[in-house]
Amino acid sequence: MRHLHRPLTTAARPFTSAHTYRRWAYLIIGGALLTPYAMAGLVLATLITQGGTAQESPGPGGWVLGLLITLAALAATARVPAVAGAQHQLARALLRGPLNLLPDTPPAPGARTFVWLCLFTFTGMAVCLATMVGLTESALLAVAPLTGDPLAPAGPLTVLGPSPEPVPSPLGPLAGLALLLAVIAAVALTGHLMARLAPRLLGPSPASLLADAQARARTLAERNRLARELHDSLGHALSVITLQSATAARLIDTDPDFARQALTHIADQARTATADLDHALGILREDTTAPTAPPPDLTHLTHLAETASHTGTPLRLALDGDPRAVPALLSRETYRIAQQALTNALTHAPGRPLDLTLDIAPRHLHLTATNPLPPRRPLGRRRTGGRGITGMQERAHLLGGTLTAGPHPAADPTHWTLDLTLNWKDTDTP
């Protein structure tokens, strides 16, 4: 029985699915929308072909002219900007299907909207007629045994004339049920085809999809850049504040002068962190002007070393070359990498010296940060890895450089070494 259950479920799905009846309502709306256009076109065509009177039914020429007037009215409607959006939203709400998987961007008014309006209204009118005839005939067939008539109508063909093969009244309910199921199946198939066509005519154009993808990529890249900025700047400031506040609390009784200096540096770091946060938020807010204070770069490395000395972590800085010769973007990003290297040393190896070496050539720089590894912790007290190294590697990759970080067993397994290499061309501008 189980192998028969799945085919039966699949066959019954068009009759039990809510999509079928939702799309049925959608198509009936299309038929109702076509009615005033078709009536107006037919009346105008009759008046034109009959010299201003409508005494007789329109001939073949009148029907053709009426169709052309209807199409012209639909084309004018498709040019209205709000129509494309309304059709898009109506199809998403009732047709659903693949259109709902695309971005909620309506098409621009034009040819695609016109084609969809024609398809929507004329198909809807056909579904309206099939619904009226099919439901009426199926109901007449179903009640045939109750009327006492020996014969019953034979389905929708009776609207065109007498049925060639009348159905005996006892079989009327079965014929009515079969006709009803046929109408539902036809509507389900029509709605499915309309749902498959909707993305091509009501969905965003390929150019719009490409523009949206590029905009999302730019937004994601900007978010990642701001995340790195906040992680490196605020992470460094908070690490320094944590160490200096702990030192000030420990020495406030025995060495109040040093504790006072530590508190002063805490205030400086807090102001720096506030400025960095304001810089990042200024980029996020579209209604604010760009911050005037430039972010720190390699010319601030000396200040970074002085800040580290107040935390009890000696930073030995060896600088070879002129930091001002480095392009501005590379200078800022390299400073952030050096700052994050110091933050990692303060966090994972507090109090241990950090050697920071920067060699600057005309088209090349090499940054090395080395500090002793802390004693191995018990397994239950291991720190979880953060995002610092990942952020530094992302910065280096975006600049076309290379960055490695970790202990080097071949050289000195007792030290952690960060190595950054960046190159640029003479034509690069800051």
Residue pair 244/262 in contact by the 8 Å Cβ criterion: yes
Q: Which two tokens stand for residue 170?
A: 């006892």
Q: How far apart are CA 74 and CA 400, in angstroms?
A: 55
- Tokens 């000195």 belong to residue: 412
Reported for 369-372, long-range contacts at CB under 8 A and 24+ positions apart, including other chains, are: 369/338, 369/341, 369/342, 369/345, 369/417, 369/418, 370/415, 370/416, 370/417, 370/418, 371/345, 371/415, 371/416, 372/414, 372/415, 372/416
Q: How far apart are CA 182 and CA 184, in angstroms?
A: 5
Indicate the helix (H) or strand (E) that contains 318.
strand 315-320
Contacts of 43 (CB under 8 A, 6+ apart): 54
Contacts of 403 (CB under 8 A, 6+ apart): 337, 392, 393, 395, 396, 397, 418, 419, 420, 421
Indicate the helix (H) or strand (E) that contains 28.
helix 18-49
Q: How far apart are CA 307 and CA 305, in angstroms?
A: 5
For the chain, 430 residues long, give each residue's pLDDT as a single digit of tens.
455 556 777 788 888 899 999 999 999 999 999 999 999 998 888 888 876 665 667 778 888 999 999 999 999 999 998 898 899 999 999 998 898 888 888 888 888 999 999 999 999 999 999 999 999 888 888 887 776 554 444 444 444 444 445 556 677 788 889 999 999 999 999 999 999 999 989 888 777 766 676 777 777 777 776 776 666 666 667 766 776 677 777 777 787 777 777 777 677 767 767 766 666 666 666 555 545 556 788 888 888 777 776 666 778 888 898 888 898 888 888 888 888 888 888 777 777 888 889 999 888 999 998 888 776 644 334 444 456 788 788 888 878 889 988 886 555 677 888 999 999 876 444 4
Which domains can be identified in the chain, with CATH numbers? Answer: 10-204 (no CATH), 212-374+385-423 (3.30.565.10)
According to the model, what pLDDT value does residue 160 have? 41
Whole-prediction pTM: 0.54
Q: How far apart are CA 372 and CA 414, in angstroms?
A: 6
Q: Single out the residue of 316, 279, 280 nearest to residue 301, CA to CA.
A: 316
